[in-house]
Amino acid sequence: MIGCFITGTDTGVGKTHVAASLLNALALHHRRVVGMKPVAAGVVRMGERCISEDAVALRAASTIEVPPELDNPVLLPDPLSPHIAAERAGVRIEIGHIVRCYRELARRADAVVVEGAGGFHVPLSETETGADLAQALALPVLLVVGLRLGCLNHAVLTAEAIRARGLALAGWVANRIDPAMDAQDANVAWLERRLAAPLLADIPHQSPPEVRGAFFKLPNAWT
């Protein structure tokens, strides 16, 4: 079973778009692929239901249907840092429960793509962060670098934090989210030299974003 954890240099760098595109790429090689959004903060109404747009996007890119309590075990109403949104909702985010949900997904699927919330160290509670969740899942990590001013520092710091947790940086994605950013190719080239991990996709700026498996050059172990 193939699994990976997607994190980003910050919030708003296109993790959901990248996760959905990765699911499309994996579906070319594996029959049963599924996305997971363990913690979603911020909902929209669909009839009488509240849903996460991120979770819906991952479901659309998955090839199997699973219960929502498995692919999105923590759904919080307010679009805030998860620890604040959970406190407001009277919910405690339990990493052990998320891990059990992931393992059930892994039992049902050939590949599972887990999209983290925010950046790598986004707070989940007063004592735990997204890094603790990634470590508990023990999955290789894919880093989404949103190309904008400041991304070089954020990318290197995040890569160091991933490796400090004993996790493998399976690769990274350059997501060109700011069309006005100068010297984008030079920034990508510097990161290719510095991150010591393969560049799996270089996604051009798109409005609206297009989900395409063709963006990805998958590692051999994932095909």
What domains are defined for the chain? 2-216 (3.40.50.300)
Query: What value does the mean pLDDT of the chain take?
Result: 96
Tens digit of pLDDT for each residue in 93-122?
999 999 999 999 999 999 999 999 999 999
Q: CA quadruple 45, 47, 52, 56: dihedral positive or negative? A: negative
pLDDT of residue 180: 95
In percent, the amount of the chain with pLDDT more than 90 equals: 94
Residue spans of the chain under pLDDT 50: none
Region of residue 42 (left: phi > 0; alpha: psi -120 to 50; beta: else): left
Task: Kindly report each contact of residues 196-199 with a partner whose C-beta sits within 8 Å and lies 24 or more positions away, as own/partner.
Answer: 196/159, 196/169, 197/143, 197/159, 197/169, 197/170, 197/171, 197/172, 198/170, 198/171, 198/172, 199/171, 199/172, 199/173, 199/174
pLDDT of residue 104: 98
pLDDT of residue 48: 76
- Per DSSP, the three-state class of 116 is strand
pLDDT of residue 188: 98
pLDDT of residue 187: 98
- Per DSSP, the three-state class of 80 is coil
pLDDT of residue 209: 87
Q: Which residues contact 125 (CB under 8 A, 6 or more apart)?
A: 83, 86, 92, 93
Q: Which residues contact 14 (CB under 8 A, 6 or more apart)?
A: 8, 144, 146, 175, 177, 203, 209
pLDDT of residue 223: 92
d(CA 200, CA 56): 24
- DSSP conformational letter for 160: H
Q: Does the annotation count 15 as an active-site position?
A: no
- Per DSSP, the three-state class of 222 is helix
Q: Which of 37, 83, 148, 154 is catalytic?
A: 37
Tens digit of pLDDT for each residue in 149-172?
999 999 999 999 999 999 999 999
Q: CA quadruple 7, 8, 13, 18: dihedral positive or negative? A: negative
Amino acid at 153: N
